[in-house]
Amino acid sequence: MQRLRLKADGRIVELREGREMPLPAPAMPPVAAVPAVRDLRRRARLTQAEFAAKLGVPIETIRNWEQGKRSPRGPARALLAVIAHAPETVFAALAGANASA
């Protein structure tokens, strides 16, 4: 039986005799692209600072996404995909969550 472990950085390794052996990355089907962060922000008519505040992330994060230095991952990627379809709903929900915190 093969024992596998998912690492925090997304890699999968095989455990053999107490050692982690890297596995080749599987061919992944193309993932639906998240609209460009800059486009989402501009459609919402928000500055980088306003967009960052609404999402609850540092402005540097928004800058890095927009400049292509980093890409949104995990929950941020999902949130941006939802914002692309229903920005008013998302921002209203986030405002309510921030008000009760």
Q: What is the DSSP letter of 34?
A: P
* Residues 54 and 61: beta-carbon distance below 8 Å: no
**Which of the four pLDDT bands, split at 50, 70 and 90, describes residue 99?**
low
Q: How far apart are CA 23 and CA 51, in angstroms?
A: 39
Q: Residue 10 — φ and ψ, nearest 5°?
A: 95, -5
What structural domains and CATH numbers belong to the chain?
37-100 (1.10.260.40)
Residue identified by tokens 């193309």 is: 30
Q: How far apart are CA 75 and CA 48, in angstroms?
A: 19
**Which of the four pLDDT bands, split at 50, 70 and 90, describes residue 98?**
low
**24-66 pLDDT, tens per residue?**
766 655 555 556 899 999 999 999 999 999 999 999 999 999 9
**67-81 pLDDT, tens per residue?**
988 989 888 998 998
pTM beyond 0.95, yes or no: no
Q: Provide the phi-psi class of 2: left if phi over 0, else alpha when psi is between -120 and 50, else beta.
A: beta
